[in-house]
Structure 1
Amino acid sequence: MEKERILIVEDEFEIADLVRDYLMMEGYEVTHAKDGQEGLALFQKENPTLTVLDLMLPKLDGMELCRLIRSRSMTPIIMMTAKKSETDKIIGLGIGADDYITKPFSPSELVARIKAQLRRYRHFSQHAPLHQDILTFGDLTIDAKEYKVLMKDHPIELSAREFQILHLLASHEGQVFTKEQLFDKVWGYDHMGDFNTLMVYMRKLREKIESDPSNPIFLRTVWGVGYKFDGGDGSSWGD
């Protein structure tokens, strides 16, 4: 079986070497870029399964690189940041990152997060039940097999994490998920109970698929409990 490829974009060579060694011990194929421009070139050339990128990079910063990668692909992105402010973390998630980790970090924790991301990506892109491959709700189409979302036949750019949240809710139309349940089913590990992170994801999803994000039709808040998906009268299942 072909090895999964991880791209590390990090200008601090000691950190990059340490992460690469841990990932190679786990059987991954690893490529390293020392700046944002090289990272973009390697991403286009290597088509990695997952990208780990630093927030502060020379030549092309991590935020812009994340945006450029996300405009081309829905493969998972994990951002590394030395800044501890919640603002940087939330901005990173808002432009398409699927997870973040703050320096200094344990290489074992990063490997665990990478594995969790790849498990979910494989599950949603390859192993969705056949009858749930394509969900249609009026003008909204969610294709789990191709990891694609369309609104009025126009593609909507989502991060892997955004897609996973949307697909989970849409494939259980009408079911209310608590915030804890969403973290458990989508993140799959202890995410420190940071529910502000989930709120950011829901806001970004609404901005992308709702005609009026302040009055959502599909992604409904159940106050004091969590969220649910409302497909209205136009929902259908396809294959």
Structure 2
Amino acid sequence: MKPLILIVDDENSIRSFLQVSIETQGYKCIDAANGANALMLAISHNPDILILDLGLPDMDGLEVIKKLRKISQMPIIIISARGHDREKVEALDAGADDYLTKPFSVTELLARIRVILRHKSNDNVSSEAETFIYKIKDLIIDTDKHRIWNYNEEIRLTPYEYKVLVLLAKNQGKVLTHRYIIENIWGGIVTEDTQALRVCMGNLRRKLSEDPSQPKYIITEIGVGYRLTDE
């Protein structure tokens, strides 16, 4: 079955161009011109990837992300003319998995689609081949059920937050460099821009610690990377 990709942009020309470019690579596309239709299609069709413009006529793209994250963990790639770091961080904080600033290369977009689909495929293989339950202090990571608990409370993570946490858990106590994490989670696509990793770690700390300024689980090795505590 062909992977299904939902394209959301209020400009017909952009939607048509992206649909043709993506479908020539063997994917299937559906599209929406506003946030309301995007949410409806996302819920009814459960696409493999959502490509989302932030500047929509009926609601801001950030609102679409937040509404979707309440019910789904489908990967979201942002395509937007908003290129400031603050706006990128807001989108990633809201639950987006990747961010491309307009104008962008279709080749790069296709590469990021492939990375996401490859990770989804690897996740399915891994879940069938081996499952683990990690317990670190009050944190429990169940890779069989894809669920996280902290102090007996279930924690909701985005797909990339979950993958980073599991990668750290598999290497508990070891320092993982920024480059190593990026190459293993994002396929090296953002090697030159560690912003996505910084946001991801910030969100993980906020979700896992009462005081993110004093992280309980994820330790920063300044200038090198991160490690999961082995205390």
TM-score with structure 2 setting the length: 0.92
1:204 matched to 2:200? The reply is: no
The one-character-per-residue Cα deviations of 1:157-177 (angstroms, maximum 9, x if unpaired) are 211111111111111111101
Q: Residue 194 of structure 1 corresponds to which residue in structure 2?
A: 193
The separation in 2 between residues aligned to 1:55 and 1:71, in whole angstroms, is: 18
Q: 1:51 to 1:145 in 2, by over 3 A?
A: farther
Amino acid across the alignment from 2:77: I
The one-character-per-residue Cα deviations of 1:30-71 (angstroms, maximum 9, x if unpaired) are 110110011001111001111110111121211011111112
Answer whether contact 1:124 1:164 (CA < 8 A) is retained.
Answer: no
Answer whether contact 1:169 1:229 (CA < 8 A) is retained.
Answer: yes
Alignment of 1:23-102 (within 5 A): 23-102=22-101
Q: Residue 237 of structure 1 corresponds to which residue in structure 2?
A: none
**Bigger mean CA offset, 18-27 vs 120-129:** 120-129
The one-character-per-residue Cα deviations of 1:193-235 (angstroms, maximum 9, x if unpaired) are 2223322211111001122211111111112311001143xxx
The separation in 2 between residues aligned to 1:196 and 1:169, in whole angstroms, is: 18
Identity rate of aligned residues, in percent? 35
* Secondary structure, counterpart of 2:70 in structure 1: helix
The separation in 2 between residues aligned to 1:102 and 1:37, in whole angstroms, is: 23
TM-score with structure 1 setting the length: 0.89
The one-character-per-residue Cα deviations of 1:127-180 (angstroms, maximum 9, x if unpaired) are 247544432324322233443322234332211111111111111111101111
Superposition deviation, residue 183 in structure 1 = 1.2
Amino acid across the alignment from 2:223: G
Amino acid across the alignment from 1:81: S
Q: Residue 236 of structure 1 corresponds to which residue in structure 2?
A: none
Q: Which runs of 5+ in 1 are unaligned?
A: 233-239
Amino acid across the alignment from 1:19: L
Q: Residue 219 of structure 1 corresponds to which residue in structure 2?
A: 218
The separation in 2 between residues aligned to 1:58 and 1:147, in whole angstroms, is: 35
The separation in 1 between residues aligned to 2:22 and 2:132, in whole angstroms, is: 32
Q: RMSD of the TM alignment (CA)?
A: 1.8
* Secondary structure, counterpart of 1:155 in structure 2: strand
Q: Residue 124 of structure 1 corresponds to which residue in structure 2?
A: 123
The separation in 2 between residues aligned to 1:189 and 1:19, in whole angstroms, is: 23
Instruction: State the aligned residue count.
Output: 231
Superposition deviation, residue 5 in structure 1 = 1.2
Answer whether contact 2:79 2:102 (CA < 8 A) is retained.
Answer: yes
Answer whether contact 1:125 1:144 (CA < 8 A) is retained.
Answer: no
Superposition deviation, residue 188 in structure 1 = 0.8
